[in-house]
Homo-oligomer: A and B are copies of this chain.
Amino acid sequence: MAVNFKPRKVEFHTRSLANGLQVIAECHPEAYSVALGLFVGVGSRDEPREWSGISHFLEHMAFKGNERYSAEELNAAFERIGAFHNAMTDEECTNYHLAVLPEYWPRALELLGELVRPSLDPRQFELERQVILEEIRMDEDSPPFGGEDLCRTLYFGEHPLGQSILGTKETISALQPAMMRQYWESRYGPDTSVLVATGRVDFAQLVEKAEEVFGQWKPCGYRRQITPVQPQDRFSVMCKSEAQQEYVIHLTPAPAGLRDWVAVWLLTAIIGGHEGGRMFWEFVEPGLVETLDIEFEEYQGSAIFEVSMVCQPEKAQENLDRLFEFYRRLASQPIEPQELEWAKNKVSSGLVLASERPISRLAVIGHDWLLEKRYYSVGELLQLVAEVRPERIMELLEEYPLDRGTVVCVGPVESLSPPFEVPAEGCVLQG
């Protein structure tokens, strides 16, 4: 594919402040908006097991006021400038981000600065604890009814990547402000964070303002321990009698830390799911399943493929068996040149379309810089995609067979047979 992509005048800049805070920006003078984000390299994998969920709880508390502003004043200040702000916590990162009209970015940056020194007021802490417990209940009310957390726990075993982002009712109920204060002091600092801007912003002004807002922030000295994952082969059936569909989640090892990681994007596009690819043609298009998808998730030091399937309960066993038979065929089916070309078209369009908004670029750039210390422009990514050869994808398929890992089935079916070899102690019945 000759991608006829003419990027606008986009410039990438980086600078470190004296306290170690990295400031990075993809400046685009023609954009309509500015997106700003503070990406803190702290997430559920950094939590002591008995404090599970504390990173996400802390993210909520960031909006609940500090010494200068009450929660009301802080929220009102965001409202005043018409900012669309939000925050997200995952396994490795807590990010606070917003999109504003260009004239408001300096004020928006000041407000980001207010978020990282929460007062953790005990009354607010109790209120927010209830909010988190409600989030957990809503999550359990929604398909796959907690099945994703269970699957991670089984797959990662004792490894901290298996811990839930939301935490459990038990850990959340036991947390106290003093613990969070200690966690915050030991994890949040300019040395664990990156300030990111995209869109219509001037880099020199950004650095100057960042120095003013974050210059006094003290390093925390935290360094994440990266320990190897021991992926577990497990099979579990969680009976949820009132559900009408069967929900299947499957985690399996994927390549991590590749120099040509875009080859894995192409691999998942070829395997496919709801919008094309082999699983689409073999399962979705003929109506065997309602949905079937594969995603690639990379963490520091490890990576997984996550396959999710939804189907009629009475077809669950047949589909499971067929899916694993499909996996086993992958390494012996050559990648057709046309198949790879289509996958490249798909991935390339996706990259270009996602680059149209500063707020979309922010997420990619911030995450990549924080965790991998890498930056690629959209043009460079398109080039990397164009260079991947079919043999490389075959190599990856041989090295990372999908027919192992952990499978969790949630739905009305009471019993299913594992579609792959699982040690006897690996079959778990939940209910």
Contacts and interface: CB of A to CB of B under 8 A. Distances in A.
A103 interface: yes
A367 to B, nearest CB: 20
Interface string A381-395: 000000000000000
Interface string A283-296: 00111001000000
A352 B358 CA distance: 12
Interface string A122-149: 0000011011001101101111000000
Given A1-B82, A134-B245, A141-B244, A352 B127 contact: no
Please classify how large the interface on chain A is, using the bins under 10, 10 to 19, 20 to 34, 35 or more: 35 or more
Contact of A138 (B137, B287, B290, B356): B290
A69 interface: no
A186 interface: no
Given A1-B82, A84-B349, A101-B5, A143 B140 contact: no
Nearest to A98: B349
Contact of A142 (B30, B72, B140, B143): B143
Interface of A: 1, 3-5, 8, 30-33, 71-72, 75-76, 78-85, 99-103, 127-128, 130-131, 134-135, 137-138, 140-143, 242-245, 275-276, 280-281, 285-287, 290, 310-312, 341-342, 344-350, 352-353, 355-359
Contact of A131 (B140, B276, B287): B287
Interface centre among A82, A102, A134 (most CB of B within 10 A): A82
